[in-house]
Amino acid sequence: MENEILNNGVKMPLLGFGTYLLRDGLECEQSVLNALNIGYRLIDTAAAYHNEESVGRAIKKSNVKREEIFVTTKFLPADTGYENAKRAFEASIKKLGLDYIDLYLIHLPQGDVNSSWTAMEELYKEGKVRAIGVSNFNMDQVQDLIKRHRVVPAVNQVETHPFSQKTEMQKALKSQGIQLESWAPFAQGKNNIFNNEPLKVLSSKYNKSIAQVVLRWLIQKEVVVIPKSANVKRMNENFNVFDFQLSADDMEIIKSLDKGRGLIYSV
């Protein structure tokens, strides 16, 4: 598995497994277990997904050593504020059944994010989390957080796909040492992405699915990506993206699809 090195030296897999819409229960547990068996080592969840317990059970049932798994979770605006963020963390780590979290994120830039960040800095310094970051923050919000605090976010997880590429944001984040991470790499199927003509041409050229082409494009752009599927065949397909490389010209073809705005959540 290829990794990105975060601004504190922690290794984060470039390709992970997302669990959004995998509700708590056997489906989620088995999906995460399947992902780990396939070779995924980054598992992304959130308090809002209501599946942290299932994720934790899958990790325990797997034969993968805990230190080899990179676990991300997040808390919501209802839990912002110093004390609330601490309580939210304790609730999440208990549900996950883990001793530490690899990456803890503010899910949305709402509520008292500054007091929340102070709490997260403490969790980080105490070794309860290996890295802290944000999700769905625009650059002004990221910069404000940096100005007010000592620890620079390690990651900003935002909607990133061929129609919303976040190129300028990625440059700005990189200048601050912050890793861009993509959620909804397939745009949740919007803009008829799986029938997009330029992507179909590239799919045929490389003998790969459109999903594989999109994931490979993001990985070559050094964007961490977390596709989600409960279908084992597609999970395997999504993981099989390290045996080919898009040419510079083909990267430009995908670049031309950018609409410069989010289709799901605007930042």
Binding residues for substrate, as ranges, are 107
Is 49 part of the annotated catalytic residue set?
yes
* CB count in 10 Å sphere of residue 243: 8
Size of the chain in residues: 267
Cα distance between residue 267 and residue 3, in whole Å? 26
Determine which one of 40, 49, 104, 124 is catalytic. 49
Cα distance between residue 28 and residue 239, in whole Å? 18
Helix (H), strand (E), coil (C) string for 173-222: HHHCCCEEEEECCCHHHHHHHHHCHHHHHHHHHHCCCHHHHHHHHHHHCC
By CB atoms closer than 10 A (0-12, 13-18, 19+), residue 7 is: middle
Binding residues: 107
Q: Which residues contact 174 (CB under 8 A, 6 or more apart)?
A: 180
Which positions are catalytic?
49
